[in-house]
Copies of this chain bind each other. A is one copy, B any other.
Amino acid sequence: MTKIVECIPNFSEGRRKEVIEKIAEEIKKVPKVRLLDYSADQSHNRSVFTFMGEPEAVMEAAFLSAKKAVELIDMTKHKGEHPRMGAVDVIPFVPVKNMTMEECVALSKELGRRIAEELSVPVFLYEASATRPERKNLAEIRKGEFEGMPQKLKDPAWMPDFGKPEIHPTAGVVAVGARMPLIAYNVNLNTSDINIAKNIAKVIRESSGGLKNVKAIGVMLEERQIAQVSMNLTNYEQTAIYRVFELIKMEAKRYGVEIVGSEIVGITPMKALIETAKYYLRLENFNDEKQVLENYLIGE
């Protein structure tokens, strides 16, 4: 029963290719860690790495990549559109196989302790690893960003979970945690009116009364001149993709607008798509574990 965990750290560097490559090398050099993907966004000035493997190896890769980022990224010189608070900004662990959420939480705490002790970067635990309700949401921790952190850490309510209440002078602070797989899902509308996408985003997202586990904004796809509802689905088991799709379709009708397409950005668990097929085909008594061939190809 090999345990497999996924790690998706975000770094505050999306422009200097040589820095991104050096971070990638740290991950690649850990035996038995599989680097699935890494990509950088220039305007966000941010990069995202996805790798997986057995817990100890993945934690080692996460630590080494964080260490390299602390060494090479100077937050006092960082500018970018995406909110950020550290050189390595956030490190989530996601259970993939034979792994419980509790085990991912334990792993995140082990890494957090090590980052604080060895790299002198204060660590906040977030999502399933959070030690207080107000620290579950990464956006709350990150409020104030790198520039506001020295002040924020003076507040006893924002004492870091590991390390002293002083930011690392160039690397800031980092959030480490465990969470469910997140699906980045966007729905494209046959309108160039971004306000329609914004209105739909507002009614379907959790924060303003919509579906739980849905974060949504309205954006404009300039090249195609169409509006898009851009989302993060933070728990596809509770809040299925098809339900999000159908709810957007229903809300769009109000404006005489239709869905022209949708997209999943990055990697999704098979189960999220199988649930969708089960819904539309009205499948009765389908057992994912036993009836999907690929489940027999995945080792114990």
Binding site for B on A (CB under 8 A): 4, 6, 34, 36-37, 52, 96-97, 181, 188, 241-242, 245, 259-264, 266-270, 273-274, 276-278, 280-286, 290-299
The 9 closest A-B pairs by CB, nearest first: A276-B277, A273-B277, A261-B284, A280-B280, A270-B294, A261-B282, A297-B298, A277-B277, A269-B293
The copy count of this chain in the complex is: 2
Query: Is the pair B280, A242 in contact by a Cβ cutoff of 8 Å?
Result: yes
Summarize A's interface: helix, strand, loop or mixed: mixed
A267: which B residues are within 8 A, CB to CB? Answer: 290-293, 296
User: Min CB distance, A54 to chain B, in Å?
Assistant: 12
Query: Is the pair A296, B264 in contact by a Cβ cutoff of 8 Å?
Result: no
Query: Is the pair B263, A292 in contact by a Cβ cutoff of 8 Å?
Result: no
Query: Is the pair B283, A4 in contact by a Cβ cutoff of 8 Å?
Result: no
- Among A96, A262, A281, A290, max chain B CB count under 10 A is at A281
- Closest chain B residue to A97, Cβ basis: B297
- Among A4, A245, A286, A297, max chain B CB count under 10 A is at A297
